[in-house]
A and B are shown apart, each in its own frame.
Chain A
């Protein structure tokens, strides 16, 4: 059973694609893609257990800090670059987006939507930094240093001249309810985007 956002991404990756999975965790997505869709490629990860997990599964994983950029990967060397739940932890998410669309024509990005209604209640009504399933850390020890919303991300894509091919929402363990499809910035817990360079 894959995380809800991973299931959705699984459908977005074409058969036989060559992909780079940034922050690939223990490699479940790449393993499923390799087994059922003939997808090849590499995962990048810094978490030690994640790396060992990938190696145990037979998923190619390279220990790599995403804040170091993707300099070791050539232009257009992949079909897709995937980055799940890592954008918000990067020092410069905007630069990473440029890098992703340098290495591949298409990128898939997921991140926690800070404007999710529960987060708004935490901050807006109760006056505390949000803590939720998608943002499980306290303000002082969170790795998430660049939180954003559906609207913020779309704004950045427009500024960069990137095309949003697909947009989806993840709520908890299920794909978005109709309310979240209609008003993703309010009801979407996890933002999922597929972007291309123009």
Chain B
């Protein structure tokens, strides 16, 4: 077919089978999917995004806009992969996308006929009216029609890794400049990373035929790569795309470890996302050739001349038996010569320059232009207008177009770089402030000759190492071609009413840019967003400059004045899997386990995630079919006898030092200076703006030692806040903090029999009587014959209760001892649900009430804020706005019908008031069924709540349709006088 009989860097002895749209084909090792399809005579590879125009490959690299395909099946199905970078492997299944029922007969090609209605901005114009149609009708239709590939809903069977690398010099791109830079630095002993997106390093050296010294340039490249591979201080990252340049020399790169295999080798990831820390970097990303726009320039078979040369030289493939070249510079002639050398019939070189040079063995049409093309599913002919104005047809199967080369400046402008126009090569080169530590060399810097690339690559490495204090000599590289760039800019063929494409993937034509200009979208960033030029998955790598040139022409400005849009990471699309790495499934958010977790699993507990923790939610019994049955039983058993709950997850902060009491006195809004040793106090922390931040207890274990508890959710932020106060506000206070949340296993033992139970566990020398260890006492004790422990007589449930802490490693054993010892009292383990029910019954505030909007006054604790001392948040808590007498107050609610559920989040309204914001009286924060009261109960914030006890209001939730009459009561439903906890 189109495989040339000689040449190419392919292994002709290896036959690889693959399919495209179900059709079987053969290729060779070293092929890409694109080169193998071209070799098999397949030019049609995709349909365009908007008009569903038939498309073939435009390029031979990652800049490809047209040949997007779907690879593989099942969980490994992968959409929108560019056929030009998909490395062929045996058994590869590829399919076209955005076409139905088939690539050759695509129903939505009707869009092409409707192109007059689908011009730039047609979304905004066509679908404006009626507004309600957008969401339900227009958008779904557009989304279906303007599709790319589809993803699999099966889980991805492969793993993805993240890794970290460090180097003296990161070299991005392994063409002549990159190889020269890496050799220079590598031979000098520097730590070098050389990354290249291709599976074969060498860049354009693999696609050209000129010599380097007495070797072919491809052989020289292979020798250079082999030498680099032998150096222990050099790491070669092939198949690795550097995606972005970030602050301070940090780069992101994705290595496709196993994209070229049917499946990854055992134990290997599919891809690795690298974070590379470099002291210096050299960008050697080469250049991308650019098209010339003319009528119907998007047919399969029309491609970039540089790409055509790459197919011929690297892959020994010609896209057709007869081809022509359309160029405005000498590089197009080079393609013609290489095609001729491989025996391909070149019909003509159509050169826009009137002074075009001659070319041996082929007719050069100087001052001529390609003005149109024909061929429905692939190029059949082009129409050429000669300098004389005469037009004639050329019957060809492929056209190589060369509009010049654009230095690949993308990474140079990921930070503050702004590309600058270079008149000599008619292209943007890196400019402005480059990312810290970056230099640019070779074609990326506008030095297009091989000699120039070698020199600037070595030079950049020498300068980089000099920055790092190392003096290095330039290696003695062989002589290479050093041709000058000869180009007369020519962007698009005018004088046509037909569409001439600029952006192939997003179907943006010269007409669209003209329309944008007419409608005033002239700034480059406006042009981009209005026409979607450069916004496709290829980010306009081949199209941006053409669009800018047309706009410049329309506005009468130079391209330099018109400017260019920004480049942002990632350089090429990245799989979500690579960004996620190992953080998927259960590992997306790892959970922490409590000390009694294994024991709770043995009991058949149901678990719930609380912050990072997995906590027992309730402990269902065999005869219980509903969670409420379990929770009600746990509450009744605790209030009736004794219950045990693992409360290890509460934050614990050890505060020590001579000034510990004075420090806590400033952290909490209530007083702590005079707290006696051996006593615990409830404390409320405010933010500096006067809003409640967190609450908990502080136990004074010694004169200079406190143990502070925080809520589970705020353990981290409270610790951070206290460290801020210690280091930044009062740096000379003698106080030290350490988080001991994981160090102690802590259990709440609650209920009238809790003392009796603990007396069986706590060593007998410790007096637990009400006089010996009263409510709010604390102390260091021993349990079970000498195990160190801490005991706190505090109660969240409202019962006679204790919290007992032992070093974490004894937590499991202590839980089992408590259960054994408590058998005579029918001791019951309880989970977070029962814990929550009992605290609501008792009217204790928790996270729902400390919601970042409430003050001490709202919480009914206004008098706790001491005005005798300076504490964080005290001053602003006294602001007028927060002292409103008619403000929200925490109260309780009982539904008139005890069995009618009240919902947390419901808003409070007077009877008869319409459910409008103006009538809002507050909201319900926590609600549950109280087995103690045999009624649903709730607490929440009500305007002037304390004056409305006994009133009936409504708890309405327009979201759920609920509207319940409730009586306002004290939030303390159980034991309001606190007699039980002092018993």
Same complex: no
